[in-house]
């Protein structure tokens, strides 16, 4: 059997943001297992994780420079860090607005701006963990919805502007995934049941299922895959209007 249909990572260096938890931690593990050198960015340093606040453009620039200093190249950037502060627009402070946009949106622009410099010779891949909220909206998450839509726009721009240099970009439209984010925002209860019920597979995804899509998109053999999105949502967006209308029936806390 041919185990090499998609090519292999061979000395490729991958930077994964939000690497300490959830989808980012799974991505670190799977990129490593697939043969890449994986370096994480997160708020706190840890084994193979640099302390980089990705909403700080200078920190992102310094972090990527350190990776290239250490390993000599940069091939893959998985912009994955994300946070959400739920609430309808009128209840959201400037500070929360800036925090969510900083992590979910600005950070990915900074990664591209600094990262493409290191990819000009050999090409490279940008992956972004967007969300189903990159193509539709979840009730009471206006900043998150905005930021994730913007990430899809950034994906398309990178594909257009750097395709000739062999740089690809793909956004993952992730569905509800069992991570700290979901546990804190939607603990067991009615909203969580609606999230699960919005999928046709009838369950949350595991972080590894998201990370596998990231690895697939980054592999050298996925060479014609750029400028688009991959739905990794257990069928949720196939019937998403139903989810929004059911969520709206639940009394909003704000």
Ligand X SMILES: NC(=O)c1ccc[n+]([C@@H]2O[C@H](COP(=O)([O-])OP(=O)(O)OC[C@H]3O[C@@H](n4cnc5c(N)ncnc54)[C@H](O)[C@@H]3O)[C@@H](O)[C@H]2O)c1
- Residue 63 contacts ligand X per CB under 6 A: no
Task: Please report how close the Cβ of residue 191 comes to ligand X at its closest, in angstroms.
Answer: 12
Which of 71, 110, 118, 144 is flagged as catalytic?
144
Alpha-carbon Rg for the chain, nearest whole angstrom, is: 18
Among 39, 22, 134, smallest CA distance to 78 is for 39
- Residue 181 contacts ligand X per CB under 6 A: yes
Do 217 and 174 form a contact (C-beta atoms < 8 A)? no
Do 32 and 38 form a contact (C-beta atoms < 8 A)? yes
Pick the piece of the chain touching ligand X (CB under 6 A) from 31-39, 109-117, 163-171, 177-185: 177-185
**Taking CB under 6 A as the rule, which mask of x and - marks residues 128-157 in contact with ligand X?**
-x-x--------------------------
- Residue 209 contacts ligand X per CB under 6 A: no
- Residue 171 contacts ligand X per CB under 6 A: no
- Residue 237 contacts ligand X per CB under 6 A: no
Residue 97 annotated to the active site: no
- Residue 106 contacts ligand X per CB under 6 A: no
- Residue 24 contacts ligand X per CB under 6 A: yes
- Residue 243 contacts ligand X per CB under 6 A: no
**58, exposed or middle or buried, with CB in 10 Å at 0-12, 13-18, 19+?**
exposed
User: How many of the chain's residues bind ligand X (CB under 6 A)?
Assistant: 27
Burial 137-170 (b: 16+ CB within 10 A, else e): bbbbbbbbbbbbbbbbebbeebbeebeeeebbbb
Nearer to ligand X among residue 51 and residue 223 (C-beta):
51
| Six token digits for residue 62 | 């310094």
- Residue 108 contacts ligand X per CB under 6 A: no
**Taking CB under 6 A as the rule, which mask of x and - marks residues 68-87 in contact with ligand X?**
------------xxxx----
Helical H segments across the chain, by residue range: 22-33, 57-71, 94-101, 107-119, 142-162, 180-185, 190-197, 207-218, 240-248
Q: What is the rounded CA–CA span in Å between residue 139 and residue 225?
A: 31
| Six token digits for residue 137 | 């909206």
- Residue 111 contacts ligand X per CB under 6 A: no
Nearer to ligand X among residue 6 and residue 178 (C-beta):
178
| Six token digits for residue 221 | 């053999």
Q: How far apart are the first and last CA of the chain?
A: 56
Among 174, 198, 199, 226, binds ligand X (CB under 6 A): 174
Nearer to ligand X among residue 85 and residue 225 (C-beta):
85
Beta-carbon count within 10 A of 33 CB: 12
- Residue 64 contacts ligand X per CB under 6 A: no
- Residue 27 contacts ligand X per CB under 6 A: no
Do 222 and 166 form a contact (C-beta atoms < 8 A)? no
Give me the residues that bind ligand X (CB under 6 A), please: 17-18, 20-24, 41-43, 53-55, 80-83, 103, 129, 131, 174, 176-177, 179-182
Q: Which residues are catalytic?
A: 144
């Amino acid at each position: 059997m041919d185990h090499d249909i998609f090519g292999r990572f061979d000395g490729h260096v991958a930077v994964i943001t939000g690497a300490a938890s959830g989808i980012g931690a799974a991505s670190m593990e799977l990129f490593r297992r697939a043969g890449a050198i994986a370096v994480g960015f997160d708020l706190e340093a840890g084994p193979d994780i640099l302390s980089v606040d990705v909403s700080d453009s200078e920190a992102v620039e310094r972090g990527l420079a350190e990776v290239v200093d250490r390993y000599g190249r940069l091939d893959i950037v998985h912009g994955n860090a994300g946070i959400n502060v739920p609430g309808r627009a009128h209840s959201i402070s400037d500070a929360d607005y800036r925090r969510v946009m900083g992590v979910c949106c600005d950070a990915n622009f900074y990664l591209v701006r600094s990262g493409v410099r290191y990819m000009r010779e050999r090409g490279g891949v940008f992956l972004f963990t967007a969300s189903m909220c990159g193509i539709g909206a979840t009730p009471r998450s206006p900043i998150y919805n905005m930021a994730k839509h913007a990430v899809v726009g950034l994906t398309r721009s990178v594909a257009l502007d750097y395709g000739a240099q062999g740089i690809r970009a793909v956004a993952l439209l992730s569905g509800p995934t069992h991570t700290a984010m979901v546990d804190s925002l939607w603990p067991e209860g009615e909203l969580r049941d609606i999230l699960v019920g919005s999928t046709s597979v009838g369950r949350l995804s595991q972080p590894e299922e998201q990370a596998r899509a990231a690895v697939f998109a980054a592999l050298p053999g996925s060479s014609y895959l750029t400028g688009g999105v991959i739905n990794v949502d257990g069928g949720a967006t196939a019937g998403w209007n139903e989810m929004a209308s059911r969520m709206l029936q639940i009394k909003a806390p704000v």
